[in-house]
Amino acid sequence: MIDSPYLVRPGKAFSLGDIPTKDAGDFKERQDGEAASAKNIAKFHEMQDVFYADGKHALLVVLQAMDAGGKDGTIDHIFSGVNPQGCMVTSFKVPTPLEKSHDFLWRIHAAVPPKGMIGIFNRSHYESVLVERVRGFAEKHVWKKRYDHINAFEKLIADEGVTIVKFYLHISKDEQAERLQARIDDPTKNWKFNPGDIDERKHWDQYMAAFNDALCKCSTEHAPWYVVPSDRKWYRNYVISDILLRTMKSFDLNYPEPIPDIKSFNIV
């Protein structure tokens, strides 16, 4: 678990309201933050090459946010330069009939990255204690049990060698309004607009309560949650790149040993 002022500390009291969405940390200027982020990302991409070749670790990055919170932008900015052979992105949409016929973690488990791979969840198993709770798709006695199921699942895959890092991209209601409006006004963003997002926005307070519970109940030593101030996209990118780089550095990464007498071979 990487220490950070945005870590939801396991077993400690926490409130989303304590994390300012417009935080900029110690940076006085945006360009300084962007430069630091670029440096982190370049080093992360460099280390991913060894991570992939080493094949002894798996990294699962979970992204959750309100609509327009920046999940797609985060993936594009942080991971666009990694080796695509060693990275897999899974976006969890409304469950299919087949997925609904199984337990809520069935489709999640199938997407967990194998060793040597970075897996990115754009939304995740947490939808089952967020949208299903808020919109009444699951009854209270059902979703209340799922926190324990989620913790047990994450402990299982962590014990099997998967390092889990979870980010909640924390934006304000006003910032969300601006981003949703941009999807209406900007022709290059029209494709992102979903009228359903406006309906979901009406349930903002219920979602904040649901997120708060999920973060408190499911931030653990083996699968920590980080609440990332995300009104400023450049600072969001810095915080996430910093935590991911330090996570990568925590692994004992090495290129595999070459075959014996490799120098004796010649390509003619």
Give me the pLDDT at residue 81, please. Answer: 86
pLDDT tens column, 8-66: 999 898 999 999 999 999 999 999 999 999 999 999 999 999 999 999 999 999 999 99
**CA 14 – CA 31 distance, rounded (Å):** 31
Write the DSSP string, 175-187: HHHHHHHHHHH-G
All residues at 6 or more sequence positions from 116 whose CB lies less than 8 Å from its CB, including other chains: 51, 52, 53, 54, 55, 56, 57, 58, 86
**pLDDT of 175 higher than 90:** yes
pLDDT tens column, 121-130: 999 999 999 9
Q: If pLDDT is split at 50, 70 and 90, which confidence band does 268 have?
A: confident
Global pTM?
0.96
Give me the pLDDT at residue 8, please. Answer: 97
* Average pLDDT in the chain: 96
CATH topology of domain 16-175+209-251: Rossmann fold (3.40.50)
**pLDDT of 267 higher than 90:** no
Cα dihedral 165, 72, 67, 144 sign: negative
């900007």: which residue's tokens? 186
Give me the pLDDT at residue 67, please. Answer: 94
pLDDT tens column, 130-164: 999 999 999 999 999 999 999 999 999 999 999 99
Query: Mean of the pLDDT values across residues 244-259?
Result: 95
pLDDT tens column, 93-103: 999 999 999 99
